[in-house]
Amino acid sequence: IPQQKLIYLITKNKMQELAALLLCKLGGKDGSADDIKAVIEAAGGEANEEQIAALVGDLDGKDVNELLGAGMDKLKDVPMGGGGGGGGGGGGEVEEGRWK
């Protein structure tokens, strides 16, 4: 799947639907619309059935692990920042387990 398609899928669908799908897959479920809705509602969220249907439709016939693998392969070519930046400031002295 092209990188642009993967980015489109992520931005087109709310992150909660995608996260719920991935949780379903981790839990050994197939990630059906009902599974995704159940995960969202169990977490106290409000399921958007249109977005769930769009996500399931966009991923129909595709292997989520292959999609993630392809995305990770593309990320290895992305420059990830430059120099080391400054170190953190020194913390205060500790005396008998308390900060000064």
99 within 8 A of 38, measured Cβ to Cβ: no
**What number is the average pLDDT over the span 26-30?**
91
The answer to which of 16-20, 25-29, 35-39, 86-90 has the lowest mean pLDDT is 86-90
pLDDT band of residue 34 (cuts 50, 70, 90) is very high
Q: What is the pLDDT of residue 100?
A: 47
**What number is the average pLDDT over the span 54-77?**
86
- Identify the DSSP state of 37: H
57 within 8 A of 63, measured Cβ to Cβ: no
